[in-house]
Amino acid sequence: MSSPFAGKLWLAPLTFGGNLPFRRLCVELGAEVTVGEMAVVYKLLRDRSSEFALLRSHPDEPFFGAQLAERKPEALAEGARLAAARGARFVDLNCGCPIDGMTRHGLGSSLLKKPGRLARLVEAMGKAVTVPVTVKLRTGWHEGEENVAEVARACEEAGASAITIHGRTREQRYSKAADWDLIGRVAAERGVPVVGNGDILTHYEARDRMRRSGVTSVMLARGALVKPWLFREVREGRTWLPTPEERVGVLWRFVELLREHFHDDERGRRRALRFLPWHLGFFCRYRPLPEDAFLERSREHPLLQSRLSLAEGATALERLLADPRPETHELFARELLESTSREEALDRAGRIAAAERLEMPDEVLVPAASLVAG
């Protein structure tokens, strides 16, 4: 019997970025498995509505999983039941979050230090629900002491149906290239699907890493935030180089989904404005990366970890889309949300581009500090 997790394109569980409208956008552009933002179980058990919102999915999502953070088996079991009761097709245990606010409480990647405890958590989840249980791992806690092979074995033996590996340690955060060779070694040892995660910005990087590691499924995080159509590129095996107008069209579709979710009134626009400028902070990092020009460079060092220049002679609209300043993102977001059609959104973008003195970075490095991928 084939696994529902094999041969799939996953959207990572992204704190803040993995909101429901963005997940729907990614599904429209080719994502097959989506994972919600990390929900902290003790907040669910205290009946906090904001935490329950993280368990909400949409019928458009073909295979949605809820990600949970907890260190006590009984509490985690109850959290898994709550998620499954609200429609999660699978439940995922967060063992990857590196931030101090989580790890000092024994959550996230701190669980990597105690494979036995982690196994008991996975077992408790599996006994509590009938849906599959998955686990999101990093390669270890400290660089040079990677124990992901041991941890992955413990997870599988405890009942995990799939394992995702972000190819860096907690200590490395995003400072080094993801270790896909290690991901491949673990995948070869395990009998359940291993999903590879780390440093994918182009379809040819996904292809190379899948061949190199032997994994059949990949999880996209920062790359999907920069260019949500990355899922389509990977599925079709070809690069899409959208025009600036087409990129505004993608943004407009995201605005439509934000409106549908938050409602198109003053309160809804305020809520949407919490998210849209943040997303523009990643979207502005887009650079066209055709395979014939960037394949070899991508093999020397991941393009997500590289400094990429904007082409000379960029149009005013291209400069607007690439402007890195938060104040520009705020202005642009407000104008998008005030628009009533894609054509009006393009017109407003053009007027901003013509009126503003836009800041043009010589190079851009895709940020990691503002992103927490669980």
pLDDT at residue 356 tops 70:
no
Closest listed residue to residue 235, CA positions, set 5, 12, 14, 27: 27
Which residue is catalytic, options 26, 97, 155, 284? Answer: 97
Closest CA to 118 of 105, 109, 130, 131: 109
- Are 255 and 339 in contact, with CB atoms under 8 Å apart? yes
Fold observed for domain 9-236 = TIM Barrel (3.20.20)
pLDDT of residue 369: 43
Q: Per-domain residue ranges for the chain?
A: 9-236, 244-287+307-364
Length of the chain: 374
Question: How far apart, in whole angstroms, are the C-alpha atoms of residue 129 and residue 91?
Answer: 9
Percent over 90 (pLDDT), the chain: 84
Tokens 């669910």 -> residue: 44
Q: Per-residue pLDDT for 324 more than 70?
A: yes
Average pLDDT, the chain: 93
97 is catalytic: yes
Q: Which residue has the tokens 């791992």?
A: 137
What integer is the mean pLDDT of 291-296? Answer: 96
Q: For 17-65, how does the pLDDT look when each residue is reduced to its tens digit (9 = 90+)? A: 999 999 999 999 999 999 999 999 999 999 989 999 999 999 999 999 9
| C-beta of residue 21 within 8 angstroms of C-beta of residue 260 | yes
Tokens 């979050």 belong to: 97
pLDDT in tens, 163-195: 999 999 988 777 789 999 999 999 999 999 999
182 vs 298: CA distance, rounded Å: 19
Nearest of 194, 206, 199 to residue 165 by alpha carbon:
194
Alpha-carbon span 195 to 155, nearest angstrom: 14
Give the tens place of pLDDT for each residue, 200-226.
999 999 999 999 999 999 999 999 999
pLDDT tens for residues 218-260?
999 999 999 999 999 999 999 999 999 999 999 999 999 999 9
**Bridge partners, residue 218, by sequence:** 9, 196
